[in-house]
Amino acid sequence: MTNLPSLDPTDWQTFRDEAHRALDQAINHMQGRQDDPVWQPVPSEIRTSLKADLPRQGQAIDRLTDQMADRFLPYGVGNTHARFFGWVHGAGTPQGILPDIMAAAMNANLGGRDHVANLVEKQVIDWMRQAFDFPDTSGGLVVSGTSVATLIAIKSAREKHGGLDLRRTGLGRATKQLVGYASDQAHSCIARTFDILGLGQDALRMVPTDGDYRMDAGALKTMIAQDLTAGHQPFCLVGTAGAVNVGAIDPLETLAEIAREHNMWFHVDGAFGATAVLSDAQKPLLAGLSQADSIAFDFHKWLHVNYDAGFILMRDVEDQWRAFTERPDYLEGAERGLAAGNPWFCEYGPELSRGFRALKIWFHLMHFGTDRLGGLIAQNCDQAKALAGMVERSDRLELLAPVALNITCFRYNPGDLDGPDLDRLNGEIVVALQERGLAAPSTTKLKGHLAIRVNITNHRTTLPDLEFLVDHIEKLGQEITASNLV
């Protein structure tokens, strides 16, 4: 029987040339990125071309790399630009191309077994232990993002306080309803986790926030008391370190204390905010974070590791193991040989096969060092305050929330429009900024008002970028009002 040719290149030298060319195309894109529009819509012709039939026959590499370079790379979300300020996106780095190439070359599966990739991930875990002042009992796992990290944390909490039997019986047999708490500013991934785990979104109580958008601890205590009276079991308290709307940080020390008092798990959603521990200036704002039972955060946001890379850090990694361990015969470990390396990472989360995300994190931290990354975080916080200053000095701009960290929320207000018209005008300004490729803030609603929301998790942003933004918001505000669009 003759073998079909494998998928490897038939001519390695040709492949090498093609690969070098592709690398150049990728680097060219990053190098020229700041001269491009921040964002541009995908041309309809490209949209159409992406509805082709399943390819039965393959095509040459050069053609495909050209397609990627010319037709895909320019039409990204825009977060590699200095004036991308939308939602919370990290800015990525050109250097991050390199570990992705190496990881692809290795094609490792970090579900388990005994190989060097797992040791790299263990190194990353140990670094996070150090970064967050967590004890020796702690551990964690590299995941795709904070959403999955949250799922791992709350499942561990559920089993710790609801009993390991839940893994077999499900919630149907539970005698008391398990309830948890998060502020009304908390990210939707927490309610989603309650849904996925069968706890139900209603079991997550939304605690009101104060004038600074921080959880109201008094209201929390009242809600816990009501649940106890009703015969429910409060099992989990979620604090947010850097909420999406305005970057608010809950009073973490107080929450840690309340959680201890009521024997609840204390989880912190620190998707972007928690990584501010790397900045000496911001670290004091996060007091109490090191008392958490678990912290979920992302490397791909404020630390700028290229997407995607998140992390779950657990105070007692045994809780995580107990909630997820599952070793059928075909995954049996061994003392020696390739099946050694116990325990396996697949025992700490929902995924069995796991790619080598840890490599890009390892490379990023090794190359840039945490001092430099922390310095850029501090710079973004200073920039958010500077932007608030520009807003306050302008006759036509109005600050809508205090700046807690790196997010500035404001609106254009010419003074003679009512609520709905003001909302429409500010929505139009943001869309115009995006469509003209000038800048990309996003919007949110604060106390019923539409706000232009400028989130600065961007190592490329400079003060002139923010002056440019303010300038164009004022110009667009005038232009749109004059054209009677609102």
- Which positions touch ligand PLP (CB under 6 A)? 88, 145-147, 187, 189, 240, 242-244, 269, 271-272, 298, 310
Q: Which is nearer to ligand PLP, 84 or 412 (CB)?
A: 84
Give me 84's structure tokens.
């991308």
| Rounded CA separation 251/289 (Å) | 10
What is the DSSP secondary structure assignment for residue 85, as one 8-state letter?
A: E
**Minimum CB–partner distance for residue 485 and ligand PLP (Å):** 32
Helical axes 317-324 vs 146-162, angle rounded to 10°: 90
Shortest distance, position 22 Cβ to ligand PLP, whole Å: 28
> Coil, strand, or helix at residue 306?
coil
Considering only the C-alpha atoms of the chain, give the largest distance between any 2 of them, rounded to a whole number of Å. 83
Q: How far is the CB of 243 from ligand PLP (least distance, A)?
A: 6
Bridge partners for 295 per DSSP = 268, 313
Closer CB to ligand PLP, 88 or 289, in the complex:
88
Q: What's the min distance (Å) between Cβ of 71 and ligand PLP?
A: 26
In the bound state with ligand PLP, the residue whose beta carbon lies nearer, of 178 and 246, is 246
* Closest residue to ligand PLP, based on beta-carbon distance: 145
Which residues fall within 8 angstroms of residue 391, CB to CB, at 6 or more apart? Answer: 397, 398, 399, 408, 410, 470
- Tell me whether residue 302 or residue 412 sits nearer to ligand PLP (CB atom): 302
Q: Is the CB of residue 296 less than 8 Å from the CB of residue 271? A: yes
User: 412 has which bridge partners?
Assistant: 397
Q: How far apart are the first and last CA of the chain?
A: 74
CB nearer to ligand PLP: give 189 or 438. 189
CB of 291 to ligand PLP, least distance (A): 19
Rounded Cα distance between 149 and 372, Å, is 26
84-85 and 440-446 beta bridge pairing: parallel
In angstroms, what is the minimal distance from the CB of 382 to ligand PLP? Answer: 20
Q: Is 453 helix (H, G, I), strand (E, B) or coil?
A: strand
**Gap between the Cα atoms of 32 and 287, Å rounded:** 41
Instruction: Give the nearest distance from C-beta 188 to ligand PLP in angstroms.
Output: 8
Return the amino acid letter for 456: I
